[in-house]
Amino acid sequence: MPLSTPFVNPGDTPVGKKEEEPSMMRTVCLLLVLVFLVFVSLPVAMAAEAAQPKAADLVQDGQTIDLASLRYQDLFKELRERYHFNQEEIDRLFSGVTIKQRVLELMDTQWEAKPYYLYYPLFITPEVVAEGKEKLAANRELLDKIEKEIGVEREIVVAIWGVETRYGQHKGAFNLFQTLNTMFDAYPRRSNFYREQLVHFLLLCRENHVDPLTVTGSYGGAFGQTQFIPSSFRDYALDFDKDGNRDVWNSTSDVLASIANYLHRFGWVFHAPIYQEIGPVLKSETLGNAYKKGRKGLVPAAEVAQAQGVTMPPAPENKNVTIVGLELEDGGMRYVAGYPNFQAITAWNNSNRYAMAVAELAEKLAGK
């Protein structure tokens, strides 16, 4: 047998294949096993998640909160030592505070986002538009002052007022102190957040001479005609009528100026564009990827104009725009570019549908 000829036993794999084929087979087998495990474990995981008791199932409505628990004792210590609440005031406020089960039920409910063609009619109706125009006329001098001093258009301010609380008519009926305590005590996933909001709430009530036990609001902890959460109130609410209180419950001056101030603090530019229609389809992969990223998908306005074949007004400081998709009743889509002013509205409410409804209501209030 020539020395150049490799020795091959009967049935052996030829040289060069001996390691490759078993390795490939092992890889294929591993992939099949992984696929099998995914298909087997996914339903099990989903079933286990569904079987997990919801927060509302673990408590009873009206159940007294355990104020002797470590989390409440830590809270009271912070209120005393850092914020100088006395024990008598703490006792008055917290004594007998109970769980509101309905708050937990609403927080546990997974609401499916409505498509835009069903969403906007909730907020833009002939009655809402007519009432908004009346509010514009009745508060003309106040809105003149807000535009001049804060730099946010009156129609946008009044539109947010209308969408949030129907111009102050619907402010929420949940006792806010009970709501915040319920979330802190019985909603573990967001307990830390609501502990922070509870502290902010007590501070803002003290600063503005409001009894915490009398305030009502939403099940999520928002209140007043602005529907601020407590930390947002402390950061953005204004005493525009100069009476010593930031009153977003009863002072129209404070309500409207606080809305404008929030938008201003998030970069609103007076008389700058809000959105631009860009067509029923996205014509480039870049825009498609930006759309999928939501608020984080920023692209230059010039790139959108080139890809879509539309004219785009310049953005302030050449800032980028977002790509927003709005569902139509016929199953199609309507795409718009969201300018920095649009993005300021989504800082108020992290929803493109919300921002678009505000923008379109504002247009109708302006007679466009």
Q: What angle do CA 357, 358, 360 make, to 5 degrees?
A: 65
Predicted TM-score (pTM) of the model is 0.81
Nearest-angstrom CA–CA distance, 10 and 199: 82
- Residue 219 pLDDT grade (very low, low, confident, very high; cuts 50, 70, 90): very high
For residue 1, pLDDT beyond 50 = no
The whole-number pLDDT of residue 56 equals 76
71, exposed or middle or buried, with CB in 10 Å at 0-12, 13-18, 19+?
middle
For residue 11, pLDDT beyond 70 = no
CATH 2.40.40.20 at 55-271, yes or no: no
Query: pLDDT for 250-281, tens place per residue?
Result: 999 999 999 999 999 999 999 999 999 999 99
Question: How many other β-carbons are positioned within 10 Å of the β-carbon of residue 331?
Answer: 8
More confident residue, 84 or 23: 84
Query: What are phi and psi for residue 80, nearest 5 degrees?
Result: -75, -50
Question: E strand or H helix at 337, and its extent?
Answer: strand 333-338
Domain positions in the chain: 55-271, 275-338
The whole-number pLDDT of residue 226 equals 97
HSE value, Cβ hemisphere, 13 Å, CA-based, for 313: 14
For residue 27, pLDDT beyond 60 = no
The whole-number pLDDT of residue 38 equals 44
